[in-house]
Amino acid sequence: MALKFPESADECVYFTRRAIGTGHATVWVYREKCPKCKKSLMGKPRGDDGSIKIRAKEYVCPDCNNTIEKKEYEESLTANIQYTCPSCGNTGEKQVPYKRKKVKGIEMLQFTCDKCNAKIDVTKKMKAKKEAAEQSKK
């Protein structure tokens, strides 16, 4: 399944490259067209000066002004992943629903390796798992 890599970050709601132990993962989520008018890509609202309101709790269509709550919109998207498994070294591509889970107190996108079925976690905002953080304090 050859996944199409984004040409620009403007095409994406989310993009990250993470090192995970001996492996790594690149995750991107494309913006979708407005479900109402099907013309433009949904995006965060813009302020009076034209800048994007990055902390907005909704997504807006620039053509028809259709508004969708952030959580509802993001859960309808699909995450595209290129990864190298930290357990077995397998390289693969995968598409999973873009739904973050709370695991050990941290929001993360979780998927499994196609070869060894190991769980691979892509954490939000470069956070470390609680058990790893507690060990580093000692």
- Residue 17 confidence class, pLDDT cut points 50, 70, 90: very high
pLDDT tens digits along 87-124:
888 999 999 999 988 877 888 899 999 999 999 988 87
Of residues 127 and 65, more confidence is placed in 65
Question: 30-59 as b/e, with b when 16 or more CB fall inside 10 Å?
Answer: bbbebeeeeeebbbbeeeeeeeeeeeeeeb
Among 65, 47, 48, CA closest to 56: 47
Q: Residues of the chain with pLDDT > 70: what percent?
A: 89
> What mean pLDDT comes out for the span 4-19?
89
> What mean pLDDT comes out for the span 14-25?
91
Task: Read off the tokens for 117.
Answer: 């079925």
- Residue 1 confidence class, pLDDT cut points 50, 70, 90: low
Please, what is the Cα angle at 129 between 93 and 26, to 5 degrees?
20
The predicted model scores a pTM of 0.80
Helices (H) and strands (E) in the chain, counts: 2, 9
Residue count (the chain): 138
Looking at residue 67, what is its pLDDT?
A: 92
Please, which residues bridge with residue 94 across strands? 81
Looking at residue 102, what is its pLDDT?
A: 86
Looking at residue 112, what is its pLDDT?
A: 93
Distant-in-sequence, close-in-space partners of 26: CB < 8 Å, separation ≥ 6: 16, 17, 18, 81, 82, 83
Of residues 47 and 83, more confidence is placed in 83
pLDDT of 3 higher than 90: no
Looking at residue 133, what is its pLDDT?
A: 53
